[in-house]
């Protein structure tokens, strides 16, 4: 079974989707629909930047959904038929579009509001994030607890846990990690995402999600928050919880394997998720679709 997986914030790059839109009409139409829905030329921000504009949270999130859905639609035309979809944080919205649970235009509008809400919450409660490289999950959790005002935010793969917290909490975490011989790398972000500090964003986003009527997912949607295949009636709550709960991507890959997954295809810019999948199990076949040339390497399943 093939899993279609979609990247989250951080995967963005100037030029993303441009070559696909030039080579494939379905990708061009996907970006045009995004421009019409959002009321500005987000396609031009994707294709030409500037990077400062593309990186702004409220622009970056719909931009990534547009680029990821465009890549998925191109791969669909090439014959890709996944048996499961999943996404990393923001990527869950792209996954929900891919499985038909959320309309594309609705996803664009919702993530634009999500990005604005997260940006406002981060300004209200400034924070930071750092990646701990090497320790097991329980060791990373113990370091965060000892530091205080720090919470695990991303369980990306074995030996890689990202922690969010107040600036002081992350400072203490980095000092503790270095004292224990654990490598800690600060991330260039403007907030403590997937932590209690972002709770106001969930409240702001709630009306938009409550207005959404999720459709049945085909193929099934595997949440990287709960690591469960989620039915329509739980999807709103999962997306709200996602904002303040850790992303358990590595654990979700393991859950997908238990469901019969044997191949993972990353749709959108970058190759970060493919690398994480191989950290979970080195022999897993992965593919990526972000450029026209990638289709030549895509063995359709």
Residue 57's pLDDT is: 87
Could you tell me if residue 219 is left (phi over 0), alpha (psi between -120 and 50 degrees) or otherwise beta? beta
Residue 247's pLDDT is: 95
Cα–Cα distance for residue pair 81/253, rounded to 1 Å: 18
Cα–Cα distance for residue pair 265/146, rounded to 1 Å: 38
Residue 275's pLDDT is: 93
Catalytic residue among 43, 68, 89, 245: 89
Active site residue 43: no
Residue 298's pLDDT is: 79
Active site residue 24: no
Catalytic residue among 24, 88, 194, 251: 194
Residue 289's pLDDT is: 94
Give the SS3 label for residue 187: coil
How much is the pTM? 0.94
Task: Enumerate domains of the chain plus CATH numbers.
Answer: 2-123+198-297 (3.40.366.10), 127-186 (3.30.70.250)
Residue 210's pLDDT is: 93
| Cα atoms found within 13 Å of the Cα of residue 285, Cβ hemisphere only | 11
Mean pLDDT by 10 residues, the chain (301 residues): 94 95 97 97 96 90 97 96 97 98 97 94 91 93 95 93 95 94 87 92 94 96 97 96 95 96 95 94 93 81 48
Q: Could you tell me the sign of the dihedral formed by the alpha carbons of 190, 209, 271, 35, in that order?
A: negative
């Amino acid at each position: 079974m093939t899993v279609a997986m979609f990247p989250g914030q951080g995967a963005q790059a100037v030029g993303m989707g441009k070559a696909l839109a030039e080579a494939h009409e379905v990708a061009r139409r996907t970006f045009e629909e995004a421009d019409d829905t959002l009321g500005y030329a987000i396609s031009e921000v994707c294709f030409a930047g500037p990077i400062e504009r593309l990186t702004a949270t409220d622009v970056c999130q719909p931009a990534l959904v547009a680029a990821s859905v465009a890549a998925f639609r191109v791969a669909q035309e090439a014959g890709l038929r996944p048996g499961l979809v999943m996404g990393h944080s923001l990527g869950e919205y792209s996954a929900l579009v891919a499985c038909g649970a959320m309309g594309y235009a609705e996803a664009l509008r919702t993530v634009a509001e999500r990005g604005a809400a997260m940006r406002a919450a981060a300004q209200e409660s400034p924070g930071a994030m750092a990646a701990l490289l090497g320790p097991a999950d329980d060791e990373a959790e113990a370091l965060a607890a000892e530091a205080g005002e720090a919470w695990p935010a991303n369980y990306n793969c074995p030996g890689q846990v990202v922690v969010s917290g107040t600036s002081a909490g992350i400072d203490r975490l980095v000092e503790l990690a270095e004292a224990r011989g654990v490598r800690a790398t600060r991330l260039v972000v403007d907030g403590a995402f997937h932590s209690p500090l972002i709770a106001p964003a969930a409240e702001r986003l709630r009306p938009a999600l409550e207005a959404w009527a999720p459709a049945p997912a085909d193929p099934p949607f595997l949440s990287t928050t709960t690591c469960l295949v989620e039915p329509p009636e739980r999807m709103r709550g999962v997306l709200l919880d996602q904002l303040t709960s850790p992303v358990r991507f590595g654990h979700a890959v393991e859950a997908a394997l238990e469901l019969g997954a044997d191949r993972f295809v990353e749709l959108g810019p970058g190759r970060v998720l493919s690398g994480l999948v191989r950290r979970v199990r080195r022999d897993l076949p992965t593919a990526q679709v972000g450029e026209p040339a990638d289709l030549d390497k895509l063995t359709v399943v």
